[in-house]
Structure 1
Amino acid sequence: MKVPRPGTVITIESYKHDGTRHRTWDKTLVLHNGRRLIGGNDRVLVTEADGRQWITREPAICTFTRGDWFNTIAMLREDGVYYYCNLGSPFRWKNGVLTYIDYDLDVKVYPDFTYVVLDEDEFEENRRRMGYPDAVVRHVYQGLRRLKQLIHHRKGPFQPGYVEKWFARYLAHLSGVDRDSLPRT
Structure 2
Amino acid sequence: MTAPRAGSKIQIQSYKHNGHLHRVWESSIVLKGTEQVIIGANDRTLVLESDGRTWVTREPAICYFHSKHWFNIIGMLRDDGIHYYCNISSPFVYEDDAIKYIDYDLDLKVYPDMTFDLLDEDEYQMHRNQMNYPGVLDRILYNNINDLQRWVHQRKGPFSPGFIDQWYERFLTYRW
Same fold (TM over 0.5): yes
In 2: Cα distance, 1:68 partner to 1:52 partner: 30
Partner of 1:93: 94
Partner of 1:77: 78
Q: Which runs of 4+ in 1 moved over 3 A?
A: none
Instruction: Note the residue ranges of structure 1 that are not aligned, 5 or more in a row.
Output: 176-185
CA deviation profile, 1:125-145 (whole Å, cap 9, x unmatched): 111110011222121111101
In 1: Cα distance, 2:66 partner to 2:125 partner: 25
Deviates further, 14-23 or 32-41: 32-41
| Matched letter for residue 42 of structure 1 | D
Superposition RMSD in Å = 0.9
Residues 52-71 of structure 1 aligned to structure 2 (within 5 Å): 52-71=53-72
CA deviation profile, 1:45-74 (whole Å, cap 9, x unmatched): 001111100000000000001210000110
CA deviation profile, 1:39-98 (whole Å, cap 9, x unmatched): 010000001111100000000000001210000110000110000000000001233321
Partner of 1:42: 43
Deviates further, 139-148 or 56-65: 139-148
**How many aligned positions are there?**
175
Partner of 1:146: 147
In 1: Cα distance, 2:84 partner to 2:39 partner: 14
Partner of 1:5: 5
CA deviation profile, 1:109-160 (whole Å, cap 9, x unmatched): 0000000000001111111110011222121111101100000110011000
Deviates further, 129-138 or 67-76: 129-138
Q: Please say if 1:104 is aligned against 2:95.
A: no
| Matched letter for residue 22 of structure 2 | H
Partner of 1:159: 160
Instruction: Note the residue ranges of structure 2 that are not aligned, 5 or more in a row.
Output: none
> Structure 2 length normalisation: TM-score?
0.97
In 2: Cα distance, 1:3 partner to 1:174 partner: 21
Q: Please say if 1:122 is aligned against 2:123.
A: yes
In 2: Cα distance, 1:7 partner to 1:38 partner: 11
Deviates further, 23-32 or 91-100: 91-100
In 2: Cα distance, 1:61 partner to 1:94 partner: 20
SS at match of 2:18: coil
